[in-house]
């Protein structure tokens, strides 16, 4: 499967085609700013004729995109000599193809994930493609509460019973910059550690056919490489965190003195939660958190209800954490522990 087109942009057509062929409807794409993710996804939607739902996280973002000057098709309209307009419909929008004035037709919808339950548009069973842009929120962006579950409900609203009726499921393109590896969607689906492995191996593609998802890391994007010589990135320099997030597709994996790989045989497992296991040292009273999963009597998933039960039952771990009596195998173990225990999604 091609990752990039001959021009160096994300080859969305190849991804979706492979996904449909191999029954992999969920595609997570993470790449640097300006690498062409959104543009390529919208262009594919237009050229393929797939009726699409374009999602952003907040209503504020959607309100902005409902203004003609911020139409997401603005650049595509200019480049391809087409005329796709956005028409406001309550808090949502409808994309209209006005290229042929005698045959104006709707081709897609615009909505905010945060207010999707209030969608009052037409029957959405005609949607074939969901494009969730910026599914990993930026640092300053307010999180949508339980965003992963909200997406699941939105997907169910649109997908309905099509699979039971013999039709393929809706394809979803999850697009984002490399802001936060421990993001709500990856946490809910248990993908954090898999994504971390890809980063360490500089792996661009991972496919899990059993679960029906693929992860694409645009680590070698020709467009991102070319942008290194543009004005802004010369200014910030190649050592800045902004440079690495924007162009190198690097997540902010901070170092800490509590991260130190330890010998598991010196510890006994206490509890499984999400993608980590908490261990207790056999003699010195310290604890260790690792992605190495050993089955314990107490186990909790990363679902919201299970995590709430974990926080109540193991609230005493917070004191050990603040006393720096807990060590971590790696950054992801620390990040997940912090999220699971303190609800910092």
Each domain of the chain, given as residue ranges in start order, spans 12-246, 264-342
Locate tokens 């309100």: which residue?
63
| pLDDT tens, residue order, the chain (345 aa) | 899 888 888 999 999 999 999 999 999 999 876 788 999 999 999 999 999 999 999 999 999 999 999 999 999 999 999 999 999 998 999 999 999 999 999 999 999 999 987 765 457 889 999 999 999 987 677 778 889 999 999 999 999 889 999 999 999 999 998 777 778 898 888 888 888 888 888 899 999 999 999 999 988 766 655 555 666 555 545 544 444 444 444 444 444 689 888 999 999 999 999 989 999 999 999 999 999 999 999 999 988 899 999 999 999 999 999 999 999 998 788 888 988 998 765
Q: What pLDDT does 239 receive?
A: 47
Residue 326 Ramachandran class (φ > 0 left, ψ -120 to 50 alpha, else beta): beta
Q: State the pLDDT at residue 229.
A: 63
Can you give the pTM of this predicted structure? 0.80
The answer for residues whose C-beta is within 8 angstroms of residue 52's C-beta and 6 or more apart is 42, 45, 95, 107, 108, 109, 127, 128, 129, 130, 131
User: Sign of the CA dihedral 123, 129, 131, 135?
Assistant: positive
C-alpha–C-alpha distance, residues 107 and 86, integer Å: 10
CATH number 3.40.50 given to 12-246: yes
Q: How far apart are CA 181 and CA 253, in angstroms?
A: 8
| Cα–Cα separations (whole angstroms), residue 106 to 54, 83, 172, 211, 311 | 13, 12, 20, 33, 47
Nearest residue to 94 (alpha-carbon basis) of 82, 102, 84:
84
The structure tokens 């709500």 sit at 184
Sign of CA dihedral 13, 207, 56, 128: positive
Q: What are phi and psi of 279, to 5 degrees?
A: -115, 155
Position of tokens 């013999």? 166
Cβ burial of 319 (10 Å; 0-12, 13-18, 19+) is: exposed
Q: How big is the chain by its Cα radius of gyration, in Å?
A: 22
């Amino acid at each position: 499967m091609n990752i990039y087109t001959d021009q160096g942009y994300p080859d969305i057509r190849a991804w979706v085609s492979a996904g449909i062929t191999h029954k992999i409807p969920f595609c997570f794409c993470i790449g640097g700013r300006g690498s062409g993710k959104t543009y390529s996804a919208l262009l594919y939607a237009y050229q393929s004729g797939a009726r699409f739902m374009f999602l952003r996280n907040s209503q504020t973002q959607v309100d902005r995109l409902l203004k003609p000057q911020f139409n997401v098709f603005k650049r595509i309209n200019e480049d391809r000599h087409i005329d796709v307009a956005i028409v406001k419909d309550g808090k949502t929008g409808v994309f209209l193809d006005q290229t042929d004035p005698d045959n104006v037709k709707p081709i897609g919808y615009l909505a905010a994930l945060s207010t999707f339950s209030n969608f009052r548009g037409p029957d959405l069973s005609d949607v074939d493609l969901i494009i969730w842009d910026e599914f990993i929120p930026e640092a300053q962006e307010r999180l949508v509460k339980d965003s992963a579950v909200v997406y699941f409900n939105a997907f169910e609203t649109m997908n309905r019973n099509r699979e039971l009726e013999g039709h393929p499921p809706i394809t979803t393109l999850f697009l984002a910059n490399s802001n936060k590896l421990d993001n709500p969607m990856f946490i809910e689906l248990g993908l954090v550690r898999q994504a971390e492995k890809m980063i360490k191996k500089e792996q661009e593609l991972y496919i899990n056919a059993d679960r029906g998802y693929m992860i694409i890391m645009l680590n070698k994007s020709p467009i991102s490489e070319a942008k290194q010589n543009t004005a802004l990135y010369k200014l910030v320099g190649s050592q800045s965190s902004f440079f690495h997030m924007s162009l190198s597709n690097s997540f902010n994996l901070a170092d800490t003195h509590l991260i130190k790989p330890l010998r598991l045989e010196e510890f006994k497992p206490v509890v499984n939660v999400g993608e980590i296991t908490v261990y207790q040292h056999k003699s010195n009273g310290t604890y260790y958190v690792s992605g190495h999963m050993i089955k314990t009597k107490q186990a909790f998933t990363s679902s919201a209800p299970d995590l709430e039960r974990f926080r109540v039952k193991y609230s005493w771990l917070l004191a050990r954490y603040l006393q720096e009596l807990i060590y971590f195998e790696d950054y992801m173990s620390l990040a997940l522990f912090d999220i699971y225990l303190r609800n910092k999604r």
